[in-house]
Amino acid sequence: MIPQSQSKFVCIECGESYSITERRYRCDCGELLEVIHDLSSISSDVWRHQVDEKRGEVAFRRYLDILMPSLESDAVITLNEGDTPLYDVSEEFASDLGIELLLKHEGMNPTLSFKDRGMVAGVSWAKNLGCEHVICASTGDTSASMAAYAACAGGMKGIVLLPKGKISQEQLVQPISYGALTIGLETDFDGCMKLVQELTAKHAIYLLNSMNSVRIEGQKAIGIETLHQLNWKVPDWFVIPVGNAGNISALGKGLRELKKLGIIDHLPRLAGVQTASASPLYKSYRKGFTALVPQVADATKASAIRIGNPVSFKKAVRELKYFEGVIEMVTETELMNWKARIERVGIAICPNSAVAVAGVKKLVDSGIISEGEKVVVLLTAHGSKFSSSTMGYHDNAENRYANQPVYLPAELAAIEKVLKL
Ligand SMILES: *Cc1c(COP(=O)(O)O)cnc(C)c1O
Ligand SMILES: [Zn+2]
Nearest atom (ligand 1) to Cα of 240: 10
| Nearest CA, atom 15, ligand 1 | 141
Q: Is the dihedral of CA 249, 51, 69, 106 positive or negative?
A: positive
| Nearest CA, atom 14, ligand 1 | 304
Q: Strands, DSSP E only, in 100-234?
A: 100-105, 133-137, 157-163, 181-185, 206-207
The values of phi and psi at residue 414, to 5°, are: -65, -40
Ligand 2 mean position to 32 CA, how many Å? 7
Using alpha carbons, select from 142, 68, 25, 171 the residue that is nearest to residue 158: 142
Residue partners of 281: CB distance under 8 A and separation at least 6? 242, 245, 272, 274, 292, 310, 313, 316, 317, 327
| Nearest CA, atom 1, ligand 1 | 304
Ligand sitting nearest the alpha carbon of 311: 1
Q: What percent of the chain has pLDDT over 90?
A: 98
What confidence tens digit (pLDDT) does each residue in 278-321 have?
Answer: 999 999 999 999 999 999 999 999 999 999 999 999 999 999 99
The values of phi and psi at residue 271, to 5°, are: -130, 125
Distance CA 329, CA 34 (A): 28
What confidence tens digit (pLDDT) does each residue in 108-166 have?
Answer: 999 999 999 999 999 999 999 999 999 999 999 999 999 999 999 998 999 999 999 99
Distance CA 206, CA 204 (A): 6
Pocket of ligand 1 (CB under 6 A): 113, 115, 141, 210, 241-247, 304-305, 350, 352, 380-381
Ligand sitting nearest the alpha carbon of 212: 1
Bridge partners of 330, per DSSP, are 275
Q: Which of 249, 301, 352, 377 to mutate to test the pocket of ligand 1 (most atoms within 8 A of CB)?
A: 352
Cβ count near 246 (within 10 Å) = 26
Nearest atom (ligand 1) to Cα of 243: 9
Banded pLDDT at 5 (limits 50, 70, 90): confident
Using alpha carbons, select from 326, 337, 332 the residue that is nearest to residue 364: 326
Residue 68 pLDDT exceeds 90: yes
Distance CA 223, CA 251 (A): 6
Q: Find out whether 418 and 406 touch, Cβ atoms under 8 Å.
A: yes
Q: Find out whether 319 and 270 touch, Cβ atoms under 8 Å.
A: yes
Average pLDDT, the chain: 97
Cβ count near 320 (within 10 Å) = 25
Ligand sitting nearest the alpha carbon of 144: 1
What's this model's pTM, rounded to 2 decimal places? 0.97
Ligand 2 mean position to 16 CA, how many Å? 5
Ligand 1 mean position to 49 CA, how many Å? 32
